[in-house]
Amino acid sequence: MPEDPEVNQNRFGTGVGNNTQRRLGNVNDQSKCACSCGCITAEDPRFAELKSYIDSLNQEQGITMPVLQEAQRSFGYLPLEVQKFISENTGVPLAEIYGVATFYSQFAIEPKGRHHIGVCMGTACYVKGSQKVLDKLVEELKVKVGCTTSDGKFTLEATRCLGCCGLAPCIMIDDDVFGKLDDVSRIPDILGKYE
């Protein structure tokens, strides 16, 4: 089921997909892991490296930012497991770590894929059926809007007008624009071009 695209128009990249899913509707029932790829286990050697880094800061004050930055550099993003680890090893409450991580645009709660797909939801494209394009992509990639595929290849987002209205409906993958996608059967081939 595709999400309401308006909801996901957030430029921060701070786990909008994950959190807004929980915020839609009434009951906030916990749910899926923030770790979309499901592959960061407790034995991951990067945890030991992160611990060394934390220890090297020698209990300096205010190390949350540098630790998060190092963790993001190492893991690529900051899922629950990583933030829990940081909380346990710095004594800072998890809520505070998460509060800091979601404040700054550069911290990603969700992993970003190698390729970014932006589906234009501007008026021209919308009128020409960009919703169908979005639906097809959700189906092909088996991913929700705003999220990343489990193999880390694609991140799918709805975007504002790309400025290529003559080619409506269009999408942008990285820097490439693909227009006239009213025939959605072309989509699998386009996706196939990307590693």
Partner 1 sequence: MGNVNVTVNGIEVSVPDNYTAMLAARQAGVEIPSLCFLKDVNEIGACRVCVVEADIKGVPMRNLPASCILQVAEGMNIRTNTAKVRKAVKTNVELILANHNRECLTCKRNQNCELQSLCDELGIDQVRFQGEKRKPTIDNLSHSIIRDASKCILCGRCISTCRDVQGIGVLDFTHRGFQTEVAPAFDFSMRDVDCVYCGQCIEACPVAALTERQYIDEVFEAIEDPEKFVVVQTAPAVRASLGEEFGMPVGTRVTGKMVAALRRLGFDKVFDTNFSADLTILEEGTELLNRVTTGGVLPMITSCSPGWIRFCEMKYPEFLPNLSTCKSPQQMFGAILKTYYAQKMGIDPKKIVSVSVMPCTSKKTEANRPEMEVDGLRDVDYSLTTRELGDMIKRARIRFANLPDETADSILGEYTGAGVIFGATGGVMEAALRTVADILTGKDLQDIEYSAVRGLDGVKEASVVLPIDGKETEIKVAIAHGTANAAKVLDAVKAGQKDYHFIEVMACPGGCVHGGGQSIVSAQVRLDVNPKANRAAALYAEDEACVKRKSHDNEEVQALYKDFLGKPNSHLSHKLLHTHYAPRKVYECQA
Partner 2 sequence: MMTMVDLNGLKAKALEEMESEGTLRVVVGMATCGQSAGARRVMETLKKDVAELGLDNVNVAVTGCVGMCTYEPILEVLETGKKKVTYIRMDPEKTARVVKEHLQGGKPVLDYTVGHDHAGNLKNLEDLQFYAKQERIVLRNCGTIDPENIHEYIARDGYAALRKALLEMTPETVIDEMKKSGLRGRGGAGFPTGLKWGFAAPNKADQKYIICNADEGDPGAFMDRSVLEGDPHAILEAMAIGGYAIGASKGYIYVRAEYPVAVERLKIAIGQAQQMGLLGRKIFGTDFSFDIEIRLGAGAFVCGEETALIASIEGKRGMSRNKPPFPAHKGLWGKPTVINNVETLANVAQIILKGADWFRSFGTEKSPGTKVFALGGKINNTGLVEVPMGITLREVIYDIGSGCPHGKAFKAVQTGGPSGGCITAADLDTPIDFDNLVAIGSMMGSGGMIVMDEDNCMVDIARFFLDFTVDESCGKCTPCREGTKRMLEILDRIVAGEGTMQDLENLEDLAENIRLTSLCALGQTAPNPVMSTMKHFRDEYLAHVQDKKCPAGVCKALLGYVITADCKGCTKCKRVCPVEAITGEVKQLHVIDQALCIRCGACFNVCSFNAIARN
Full DSSP string of 31-90:
-S-S-TT----TT-HHHHHHHHHHHHTTT-SS-HHHHHHHHHHHHSS--HHHHHHHHHHH
Q: Which of the residues 123 through 162 are near partner 2 (CB under 8 A)?
A: 123-125, 127-128
- Beta-ladder partners of 119: 158, 171
Q: Is residue 27 close enough to count as binding partner 1 by CB under 8 A?
A: yes
User: What mask, x for binding partner 2 by CB under 8 A, covers residues 1 to 40?
Assistant: ----------xx----------------------------
φ/ψ bin of 180: left (φ > 0), alpha (ψ from -120 to 50), beta (otherwise): left
Residue 47 CA from chain centroid, whole number: 22
For tokens 């409906």, the residue is 169
Q: Is residue 10 close enough to count as binding partner 1 by CB under 8 A?
A: yes
User: What mask, x for binding partner 1 by CB under 8 A, covers residues 155 to 184?
Assistant: ------------------------------
Q: Is residue 56 close enough to count as binding partner 1 by CB under 8 A?
A: no
Q: Is residue 99 close enough to count as binding partner 1 by CB under 8 A?
A: yes
Q: Is residue 77 close enough to count as binding partner 2 by CB under 8 A?
A: no
Cα separation, 65 vs 6, whole angstroms: 31
Give the interface with partner 1 as residue ranges (CB under 8 A): 10, 12, 14, 18-20, 22-24, 26-34, 80, 83-84, 93-99, 102-103, 109
